[in-house]
Every structure is written in structure tokens, then in C-alpha cells.
Structure 1
């Protein structure tokens, strides 16, 4: 027994000694087992977080794609709230937009309600100022006014609330008139609320998700605002295009109406003016007492002034609508300015003024341009000089324009560039008259404006120089006035561009000028003339003018009567004066029938169209139907004589 006990004790000691070494190992294994269990739990949590983040990221990408797929502002905001509510399992999500005055935030969109009840919160509220001061998502108090939109279920603990600012693109895009601080961008406010009575709290990755979504929403809203602005600009542009098109059609209708009115007024105004000028020119050829002759001359001058005024008004209207074109032909420069001087000599002699003409010897003999407009400009300028000069002299100076000449001190720099086929001439009219003050200079070329230094007793209409300026511009030139002041006279100068005529044209013109008795013939005794006019007084005036020149005149009142007279009298008539607007058969039809009736050109009577129209297309039409000349009403005895002399000069009339 003793031995057994001893052996048992030895075994027990040995076992105890072995346990001393085994127990730490057993404890170490248990510790490792606990450590591994903890690590496995942590890995499980991390995997869950990763899966959650991946799911969140997928939702963010889907949300971003949904937001970017549309450019409608309301769709973007509704999609954002719905997707955030699904992803973050929110109880409520709202969006607050600035009001028009920028002083308040108004509830715009909610997750639970399609049309939320209007609510506003001052923008200076501490909670809003706190959120707007940071670009990060911030946890705010559940009792904040912006969180009072959550459903009321009677639960005693409200879920956590996060506020996030959303930058807006521009004040105008969101109809914000008075943002408190224009230097800062306006913001909208996004409020996200977790479910009530839950222990859930906001995680960092969820806040980051909110921040990313807010940035995407801001970008999408910016694009939507730009699109809306483009659409508004397009709509506004379309409205303006429609308005402009309507205005254009109205303007075109107004131009057509004005042209019709001018055509009627042209005829109606020229007809009585023609009668006055024609009858007064006939009266001047009769035996009159000095007092009667003075009155008749006054009537003639007044009628000529009225005719000039009518021409100026019609020309001005054509210049304004751009329908007036230059009528280019080859003419003699020296003859043109000499003719201008001859036309105003009677006025100068009555006022006892000295009138002189100086033409530079280097000036070309012939030029190609609109001689009638150039003559009109010259006569207008000389007429003004004579009108405003009581004593002294008026000089007309014509020369080639050169670069070393002085320029207009009050106008823009005008440079001339002479070439092989064109040249520039300078025309100056100097007088010793009233002069012009510096303050009145800008008014001279305005329509219906007179200088304050010119008395109204001169009867100025205020459109002569305005028309001259338009004509000079058409001729690619420049016109200006120089004066040392009131009472010191003035100088009107203008430069126009003319073309060099062809050599063959110049030779033909020279031969015509050298032909004897070409344009100076004034003896028309026995020349048989037929006058066609529906107006009895016009027929009487035209017959009287032709009879005064020695013509044998026969008158009819219509185109049909004219054709009958030609059939009855055979080849007796040498010249026909045909009014264009005769009843039944007009002047154009008469010309066509006359050409058909007389197959031999030498047997055909010459036809002169009598019209009140100054339109160049009317002249072209007259010549195209066979007319040999065009006589514009009103005309005087002198104009009638010049017309017949021109026909004789071309060898067209054989009396």
C-alpha cells in the first residue's frame, strides 16, 4: 500500500509537472480562438459595410444617371428625392428653394407629397445660416423648422436630420431678383430625415453620399437652367423674328401705299402747275403793260418754285426708299455749267448781282454720268447763293479735284482715287451774302431745317440741300459749306465722281455739236403737230405753246380719236404729243399702233410722250414702245422749243 501510494504520488507529481506546461498552451489556444472569432466578426461587419457602400455607390450611379438623363428641372428634383429616399431609407426628404426676393426659403418639393403646402422660412434663420456656411452635409436639430414636414405618427423620438446646401447657377435662371449678397451664389436647401423611433444614426459614408448627390444635382440644375435660358432666348428670338417680319410687311405695305399716293399726287400736283406755267409763258409773249408783265413774271416764278418743290419732294421720297437710280449718259461738262449759269442769269440781273463762271482748262470736255442730277445740284446751290445775296457777286468755279486741295474742315476725311475710267470734279459756289454761323452748319443738310440766320422771307423749304447731299452721295462724292460767319458770305463746295466716255461716243457727240443748225433752230413755222390729251385745258395750253412757236396744231381728246385723225389726214402730221394716260387707248397703245400703221420709218410721225411721272422706268417704257422723246410736265414755252429743237438736231423732223 505504501508503495502504491508512493507511486501514485509520483504519477501525480509528474502529471502536475506536465500540466504546468500544458495549461498555458491550452490557455493560448483558447485566446486565439476568441481572437479569431472577433476577427471573423469584424470581417463580417467590414464586408457588410463594403457591400453597403457598393450598394450605395450603385444607387449613386443610378441616381446620377437618372438625374443626367433629363434636363427638366422638376424631373431632376423629384428623381433626386425619390432615389435618395430609397437608397437611404428615409422617412422624408424635402427641398427648399429661394423666393424671388431672395429673403426666404420656400418648400418646393417633398418625398411624400406631390403638391406640398406652401411654407417659408427666413433665410437668416440660424439653422439655414449654419448649413449655408459649409459645403459639407450637416446634422441639424430635428426640431428645426425645416424638419417639421415629417409625418406626425405620435412617436416620441424623431429621427436624425441632415441639411445640405445645393448651389444654384445664376440669379436670373431661378428668377431671383434681389439676393441679399450678390457677390455670393444663391443656394437651395436639401433636408433628409431618418425614420423616427429608430436607433439608426447617420454614417460617414451616407453623409458623403448626400454631398456627392448634392453636387450632381447642382450640375444637373445648372445644365437645366442653361437649357431653359436657351429655350427662352430662342422663343424670344422667334417672337422678335415674327415681329420684325410683321413690321417688314407693314413697312412694305406702307411703301406701296406711299408710292401709290405719290403717283396720284404727282399727277394731281403737276397738272395745275403745268397749266400755270404754260399759260404764264404764253402771257409773257403777249403785249402787256409793265405792271401786268411784272405780275405775270411773279406768277411764272412762283409756279416754277412750286414745280421745283414738287420735284424735290418726289425725289426725296425716292432717295429715302432707295428707288432713285442715276441715269447715265455722255454730256459736255462746259455746256452743262454754262446752261446752269444761263438759267439763273435773269435772277441775278433782277437783283443786280455779278455772276461769273470759271472753268479749269484742264477739265475734260465730255463726261459720263447723270447730267440732269448734276445740273439740279448746281442750280440748287447757285439758287441758294442768289437767294441769300443782296449785293455783291456769285461765282461758280469748276475744276478737277486734286489731292493738294483743302478739305472740308467740319466733315470726315474724303479721299479721291482717280483712275483710267473715272475722275472727280470739284464745284464751288462763292457768294457775298448773309453767311452762316458755326452753330447753323450742322442743320444745313437736314430735311425741312433752316439756319436761324436765314430769314423766312426767302421762302426756303429746307429740303434743297438735303436732296443735293443725297445726290452727291449717289455720285460717290461729298458736299460741305464754308463760311467765316454771319454777314461774311459763304462757299458751298461739292465733289462728284464722273466716268470718262468711250472714244467713239465722244467723237459722235462732237460731230453732233458741230452739225449746223442742230440745236439752235427755233423756226417751226408750218410744222404740223397732233396733240393728244384728255384734259381740255391741257390741250389748250399745249396748243397755245406750239402755236406760239409757229406750228400748225390739231388737238384730240383720246387715243382713239388720234388714230382716226391719222387715218383721215394721211401723212400730214410730223409730230405727235401724246399724253400717256389718255382714256380708252393710252399713250403706249397709241405708239404701238402708230408703229404698226407706218411700216416705213421715214413716213412715221415723231412721237413725244407727255407725262407727269419722273420714274426712270416710265421713260424706258416710253422709248421701248417707240416714243422719240419724253416731255415732263410742267413745261414752259422754252422747254417745248428745246424739245422740238432736239428732234431737229437729231435730224428726226423734216418740216
Structure 2
């Protein structure tokens, strides 16, 4: 009698593929579409072996496996879990699990796994089997971690290598479109730009899908208003639909919570993909979006989204296949409608990532309805930020921008585009030059401050990550916080996280467009710490004052610093003690001493604070004194840190040379 195998998988395509392979090898195979159906069939049919997908709606594979092992009717049936590579790290290693096979699997491995389990079936559940399973799982985890690291590197490099020339092509066509052209030339350039943008879109789709499969794209969990992602989707999609004379309507059923917690951007992306697909295959009629409550418990709701079109429809035997990458209804659809078939595949991966499910109902010649169900938290009404005044939008003032970029072509694009908007641009060829330019702007009196740094990531000598870290370290001494925006062709989530971890404020992917940069900068500029030379001490030390005291001799200044700073910690402790004990005369004496030390080495802000404390002590009124002492300690610490950096002497000599030049 043939070995009976039960396959439990919500992907009909995957299940049918496995059944075909196993039936060819002589096995008898049945299919269950989800975990609940799988439990029922296992109890009824008592198969010899069960293949169990891990990610399924309602009841996932791990939960189903646990129930199978607890049920006396099915506890002895070997179960083969089918996790993806990224799930291996989280798999339990207890004796209840028999075996696993990582998706995507080689057909020969599938058949060999069945042969191995069937031949060893009599030993299933033994201690040796359990030990072998744990060893196999540990080894596979190590191998997959190495493979995932390699995959991440390949994705990052592929993203960079593809996007960099595309950025240059699209950027140069933008510049060319801003010149005097004949109508014929204008048409040629606009066609080139359209083709470049189409290619960029395809590259982005492939890279994003690869990231989803590799588990490199995560989800945000933030409060949002449901109408917002819907409105943003409509802003993009309605013009496309109007070009074909198609209307788009949206309906939120009564009872649908308006304020949710979850990933609004991913929701918008799924809706946009489904609407784009509907527009592509609909020649007349309308497209409708409807949202209903599927289930609701306490502070959680499961929403059912429907996207209905009046398009060509999908044959029944192709309805599961269209959710696979690079698949369309048939080859004629690809020729007629274009595209690579990535939108639905990406949507399916995102919906799964959100813990939901997606499917389609369709009738040839009448249209299709795409359904997806996902969960969100329910929150009180989202408090919206006060609207920004119109004068503050779109970079109200002309900015002084430092652009760190090693590519001459990208430098030309950035400089030309930003100057056209009225901004001043300084170029740095690598991270080291960027740090030097930033330092110069903060230390030299007649150098204008930069408002913003656009930082490429991949540069020679010093990359953008190290340059950003160096600037943030210098700000600990100099004060302030300049906005740094990553400007890179590395489009993966891992690189985005690296940029933020290094101290960058935001991240834009090449090719960078002014409109995208505007959108990224708007919230940053509104909350940015304003730095002006009148309000903030650019550096804690004024070299002009320090050198004047020592007769413009840097060597004498070095000796004075070494001598002066040794006594500062003890003087600060004595000042703090006098303040704590309420001794005005003690405060006056110690503040006077610190005022002199700081004045001698150029710590003018610290000197001025000490002067205020001295006056308070002299007048016998210490009200507010403790806060001033804290401020003095902070400022003196900045002075000490400044002089502990060995580069101070070189900077002093550069300042000296500049003044004598």
C-alpha cells in the first residue's frame, strides 16, 4: 500500500507543486488549505506523514503541530514543518517536532526527505531521533545565518550598482529638460526620462520583493487615521485612472474604527498595488475600495478590504498563480499590458508579514475582487500635529547645503538641482573632506554655517557612516545638531538602519528628487535646533582670545592649558561645596578663580558664567546659583573636551595662519 501523505499549506500553488512531485514518486497525497482543515483531515484519514507550512491564517504551522502531538489520534504521525529561511532562528527545538524542510526546497530533497522518514518511521519519537533533530536544526541555523548574511550583502550591492547609474541617467535628463530645447528634443528627453523611471520602478520592485523574502523589511507600529493611507493612495492612483476614463470610489462601512495602530505605509502600499493592477486590466467601468470589520475584540480589529474592478477577469486555474513573482494571467497579458507581475506577489508578502491573508474572486469578462484581511490595534483619536504655517513649507529660506558625494556626475546633478532652487551648495569629495568643511564652518568666524548635509554613504577614504559619526562626536564638544540626510543607492532596510544608527536624521534613496527631499526635510527643518553664531558658542574656545593672552604663541598656549586645567576640577568641587553650604564669599572666591582660568585659555562662555556667579557671591544673593553652577560645569567640560582632542593645536595654527594671511 502506498504511503499516504497530507500536505497542509495555504498556498495552493506550493501545495499542488509538492503533490505533483510526490505522486510522481509513487506516494498518495491529499491537501488541506489551512491549519484547521489539516487537523480535521489528520484525525479522520490518519496519514503516514504530514507536511505542514508554518505561516498560515488563523492557525499557523507551529500551533497546528502542537495540537497534532497532543491528540492521541495523531501524536505518532511524523510531521515535517516547512519554514522559510528567516523562521529557522525562531523555531522551537523540543522533542515534539520531528523534522523540517526549508522553503524553497529542491524537488529531490522533498522526495529524499519522505524516503528517509518512511524508512525510519519505526524509530520515530525515540531519544536518538530527538537528539538528531536538535543537531540538524542547530547546523541548519548556522548555515542559514551565513547564507542570509551573504544574501543581504548581495542585495545591498545589487541595489547600489543598479541604482547608481539610473540615478545619473534620470538626474541628467532632468537637468537637460531645464535647458533650451526644441519641441522634438523635448519629446526625446521626456521619453528617455519616462523609460528611466519605468526601469527604476522595476528594479525597486524586484529588490523590495527580495528583501521581503529575506525577512529584511519590518513593520512599523504607530497610531494613524485610516483615511490617511487611503487618501495618499488616491492622490497617486486617481490621475492614472482618469487617463483611462475610470472612476475610483472608496467606502468605509459603519462601525469601522477611524483611528488605528499599525503600519499605515504598508497598508497604503498594498492598496496602491491592487489599485494599479485593477487600472491596468480595466478598460471601462469603475474601481471600488470597500472596508468592513471582519472581527473586533477589545482594542483589536480585523479589517476586510475589497478592491473590485470591472476588468477582464482571471481564469480559475490562474488565480493562485498570479500571487507568485513574475507571473501574469498569460503571456499575452504581459505583451499587452506590460509589467513583470511583481505587485501582487509583493502585496501577498506584505499581507503575510502583517499576519493577514489575501485572495481573489473573479469572473471572466466581468471583473475581479481582491480581498485582504489584516489586524490593527484600535486607539483613541490620533492627535494630529498642528498644521505648519504656509511660510515654513518648501524650505522657506535659502539654505547653505554641504553635499558629500564622490561621483562627479552626481555632484553636478546635486549642485545644479539645488542651485536652481536658490540654495548655496558646497561640495565634498569624500567623508573626510565633509568633516573638515563642517569643522571649518563652526570654527572660523567669517565662514557661514551649514544648514544641512546631504551625505552619500559609499565614498572613498571615509564613508558617510563614519563621517556622520565623527560630526556627531564633534557636536558633543561644539554643541548644536546639524541635519544630516543619507543620500544613497543602498536601498535595503539594513542600510537604512545603519544610517540612522550612525547619527543621520533621515534617509532618501537615489535617484534623489527635489520633491522627495522637500517631503523628507519638512518635519526635520520644523523641529531642528536653530544654530546661529549670535546665540550659540560655535566652539567652546575662542582662539583669538586665547592667543592674545599668550602673545600669539601656540607653544606657550599649550603649556598654559596643561597647567590651568589641572586645577580646574578641584576649584569646581570647592565652588559646588560653597554653593551647597550657602557661603556667598566662598562662591565669590572660587568663581573669580575659575573666571580667570577660563579667560586665559579662551573659554569665554565659561568665563562669563563664572563672572555671573562671582557677582552673585559679592552681592550675597545666591538665588538661582545652583543652576548656574550646573551650567558652568557643563561649559567647562566642553572646554576640557575640546583641548583633550589632539587636533586643537593644528586648528589653532590654522586660525593663526588665517589671521596673519
Q: TM-score normalized by structure 1?
A: 0.55
* Equivalent residue runs for 1:379-394 within 5 Å: 379-394=272-287
Matched-pair contact (CA < 8 Å) for 1:521–1:648: no
TM-superposed CA distance for 1:308, in Å, is: 3.1
The alignment status of 1:598 with 2:475, answered yes or no, reads: yes
Give the aligned partner of residue 337 of structure 2: 458
Structure 1 residue 608: deviation in Å? 0.8
Q: 1:325 corresponds to which residue?
A: 218
1:522 is the counterpart of 2:405? no
Equivalent residue for 1:541? 413
* 1:292 to partner: Cα distance: 4.5
> Quick one: distance in 2 between partners of 1:443 and 1:574?
51
* Equivalent residue in structure 1 for 2:196, among 288, 299, 303: 303
Q: Confirm whether residue 399 of structure 1 aligns to residue 296 of structure 2.
A: no
Give the match for residue 476 of structure 1.
355
Offset at residue 516 of structure 1 (A): 2.6
- Quick one: distance in 2 between partners of 1:291 and 1:646? 41
- SS of the aligned residue for 2:319 comes to helix
Partner of 1:627: 504
SS at match of 2:323: coil
Contact persistence 2:487–2:508 (CA under 8 A): yes
8 Å contact from structure 1 (residues 523, 549) kept in 2: no
Matched, 1:467 2:360: no
CA distance in 2, matches of 1:295, 1:351: 24
Cα offset, 1:541, TM superposition: 2.1
Q: Would you say how many aligned residue pairs link Structure 1 and Structure 2?
A: 405
Q: CA deviation at 1:639?
A: 0.9
Contact kept in structure 1, 2:216 and 2:494, CA below 8 Å: no
2:470 is equivalent to residue 578 of structure 1: no
2:327 is paired with a residue whose SS is coil
Query: After superposition, what is the alpha-carbon deviation per residue over 1:222-241, rounded to whole angstroms, capped at 9, x for unaligned?
Result: xxxxxxx979x999999998
Deviation at 1:468, TM superposition (A): 0.6
Which of 545, 556, 574 is the equivalent residue of 2:428?
556
RMSD after superposition: 3.5
1:613 alignment partner in structure 2: 490
Aligned residue runs from structure 1 range 139-154, under 5 A: none
Matched, 1:336 2:229: yes
Matched with 2:99 is: none
User: Does 2:306 correspond to 1:428?
Assistant: yes
Aligned partners of 1:602 and 1:362: how far apart in 2? 51
User: How much has 1:631 moved relative to structure 2?
Assistant: 1.2
2:521 match: 644
Q: Which of 421, 434, 444 does residue 322 from structure 2 map onto?
A: 444
Alignment of 1:103-118 (within 5 A): none
* Residue 607 of structure 1, CA deviation: 0.9
Q: Residues 481 and 352 from structure 1, CA distance in 2 versus in 1: closer, same or farther, beyond 3 angstroms?
A: same
Q: Deviation at 1:360?
A: 4.9
Using the TM superposition, give the Cα deviation of residue 497 of structure 1 relative to its aligned residue in structure 2, in angstroms: 1.6
Aligned-partner SS, 1:582: coil
Q: What is the deviation of 1:265? A: 0.7
1:569 is aligned to 441
The structure having more radius of gyration, on CA atoms, is: 1
The answer (yes or no) to whether the contact 1:382–1:429 under 8 Å persists in 2 is yes
Q: Counterpart in 2 of 1:86? A: none
1:387–1:458 CA contact under 8 A, matched in 2: yes
In the alignment, the residues of structure 2 paired with residue 548 and residue 491 of structure 1 have an alpha-carbon distance, to the nearest angstrom, of 46
Report if aligned partners of 1:546, 1:640 keep a CA contact under 8 Å in 2. no
Once the 2 structures are TM-superposed, how far is the Cα of residue 288 of structure 1 from its aligned partner?
Answer: 5.1
Name the SS of the counterpart of 1:427 in structure 2.
Answer: strand
Specify whether residues 614 and 528 from structure 1 end up closer, same or farther in structure 2 by C-alpha distance, changes over 3 A only. Answer: same
Which whole-Å CA distance do the structure 1 matches of 2:530 and 2:306 have between them?
A: 39
Contact 1:534 1:583 in 2 (8 A): yes
Distance 1:464 1:589 in 2: 36
Asked if the contact 2:229/2:265 (under 8 Å) is kept, the reply is no
Separation in structure 2 between the aligned mates of residue 356 and residue 300 of structure 1, nearest angstrom: 31
Task: Say if 1:434 and 1:454, in contact at 8 Å, map to a contact too.
Answer: no
Q: Indicate the SS of the match to 1:597.
A: helix
Deviations 1:453-491 (A, max 9, x none): 724232221222112111111112222222221x32222
